[in-house]
Structure 1
Amino acid sequence: MTDGPNRVFDEFAKLMTDAAGVAQGMRKEAENVFRHQAERMLGNLDLVKRDDFDAVKEMAANARAENDRLSERIDKLEAKIAALEKGAKPAAKAPSKSTASRTSTKK
């Protein structure tokens, strides 16, 4: 009779162990299905990979830096042109021969 209750508990313990194993297997299967579905859905979206994003981000930063550098250069050149034009205004040039000959032939 002492084997009776112990045997029931042993069988119950085996049943619970098997049930836990089945539950864990179902959990892993559900995770795999969910992961597969998520990857499929993300694959259908037009998303960019992180490496590509980082490369384009770096290219944009380089382009911005070059743009700033060129803007500064343009500002300096415009200032230089303005200074040259101010210096050239007091000494007005006489019309060149090619301009004078064109106006006289049009009459």
Structure 2
Amino acid sequence: MTERPRFFDDLAGVAGGALSALAGLREEAESMVQAAIDDGIRRLDLVRRSELEAVQELAANARAGQEAAESRLAALETRLADLEARLAGGDMTQAPD
């Protein structure tokens, strides 16, 4: 009785086929869930982290540029006020710094 009965061989084959089918179903279920998540993200109008970080960097650069421009504008306004004061007082002998 060294041979297994054919019934057990058939049973093992059926079990192996069932496990293969379950693995395929699992992969298909995972892809369906991922597709549903991606669809939900699109409908909620969410963005990915990399896109958010890129926009944050652009905003930081724009903010720094705006602050530099505001500083330059303030300096120019000060120079203009000095020139207008000198012009109003009649003192145009020395150029402003």
Bin of the TM-score, shorter chain as denominator length: 0.5 to 0.7
The 2-side partners of 1:48 and 1:28 are apart by 26
Match of 1:47, SS? coil
Partner of 1:44: 43
Matches within 5 A, 1:1-107: 1-3=1-3, 5-48=4-47, 53=52, 54=54, 56-84=55-83, 87=86, 91=89
RMSD value over aligned CA atoms?
A: 3.1
Structure 2 CA distance for aligned equivalents of residues 16 and 25 of structure 1: 14
TM superposition shift of 1:51: 6.9
Whichever residue aligns with residue 64 of structure 1, its letter is R
Superposed displacement of residue 16, structure 1: 2.3
- Distance apart, 1:42 and its partner CA: 1.9
Q: How many residues align?
A: 89
| Unmatched 5+ stretches in structure 1 | 93-107
Q: Whose RCO is larger (CA < 8 A, sep 6+)?
A: 2
Q: Which has the larger radius of gyration?
A: 1
Hey, what's the Cα distance between the residues in 1 that align with 2:51 and 2:23? 38
Q: TM-score, normalised by structure 2?
A: 0.61
Deviation at residue 25 of structure 1 after TM alignment = 1.4
What is the percentage of aligned positions where both structures have the same residue? 35
TM-score normalized with structure 1 length: 0.57
